[in-house]
Amino acid sequence: MTDLPVNAAADMSLMTLLTGASLPVQLVMAILLLVSLVSWWYIFIKVMTISRAEKEAEDFENTFWMGGDLNKLYEGITSGRNKPHGMSSIFEAGFKEFARLKRQQGLEVSDVMEGSRRAMRATFNREMDDLDSHLPYLASVGSVSPYIGLFGTVWGIMNAFRGLANMAQATLAHVAPGIAEALIATAIGLFAAIPAVIAYNRFSSSVDRLAVRYESFIEEFTNILQRKS
């Protein structure tokens, strides 16, 4: 009698439950683990991307509002080896289009400003597409993973109770391992979903703040160009 609890405990170990699960449940677990790994990789990428965008916006605003020559600022941005990103790329697109249209004869000031604004808006949209990349995946993982885990749990519990049909006397000891291995699928689903939801909310908030900063800069820079024209 003293050996039964020990063996039961050994049978209920996490590794035993994982390896002893039915094939559909194991497949669900494998999918959820793969989805979780990919989401963590995207989280790492977004942390780096958004942190870089926030730093570049801060550095550019500090330089821009120092009141230096816009031509020198434009030359400094375009002469660098690295392609400008974020706010500096919006400035580059707007100032380049402004200078090009100013050289053309017969254009009204409104036409020059509208062309410059369109160039900045197009660059703004490209920058926002880059910042928004991978966020839909994180949102999908956060919303779908618990249901995938629940499917594995339901399947495992069905198997556990189906196995009791051939037993004359069913006890909790017979059904507990099957239910336990099934519940692991739900746990893995939550493990994949919770970080994805937290990351999505955090990144969405950061992207929204950057979008506001970019749009404010477009309006302010448009006013500066209008005064120069």
Q: Which range of residues forms the domain containing residue 121?
A: 13-228
- Asked if the structure places residue 8 within a domain, the reply is no
Nearest of 228, 210, 217, 227 to residue 117 by alpha carbon: 217
- Where residue 15 falls among pLDDT bands split at 50, 70, 90? low
Q: For residue 10, what pLDDT is reported? A: 42
Sorting pLDDT into bands at 50, 70 and 90, what band is 126? very high
Separation of alpha carbons 138 and 161, rounded Å: 35
Position 53 in a domain:
yes
- Return d(Cα 135, Cα 116) in angstroms, integer: 30
Residue 77 lies in a domain: yes
Burial of 102 (0-12, 13-18, 19+ CB in 10 A): middle
Q: Is 56 inside a domain boundary?
A: yes
> Does 5 map to a domain?
no
Q: Which residues contact 45 (CB under 8 A, 6 or more apart)?
A: 134
Q: At what angle do helices 172-228 and 109-132 cross, to 10 degrees?
A: 160
pLDDT tens figures, 43-94: 999 999 999 999 999 999 988 888 778 888 888 888 877 788 889 999 999 9
Please, which pLDDT band fits residue 208 given cuts at 50, 70 and 90?
A: very high
Q: Is residue 76 part of a domain?
A: yes
Which pLDDT value is given to residue 143? 93
Higher pLDDT, 104 or 170: 104
Alpha helices of 133-171 — where are they, by DSSP H?
135-163
SS3 117: helix
Is there a domain that residue 1 lies in?
no
pLDDT at 179 over 70: yes
Region 10-27: what's the mean pLDDT? 65
Range 24-47 average pLDDT? 90
Mean pLDDT of the chain: 83
Look at the chain and report how many structural domains it folds into.
1
Residue 2 belongs to a domain: no
Q: Say yes or no to pLDDT of 28 above 60.
A: yes
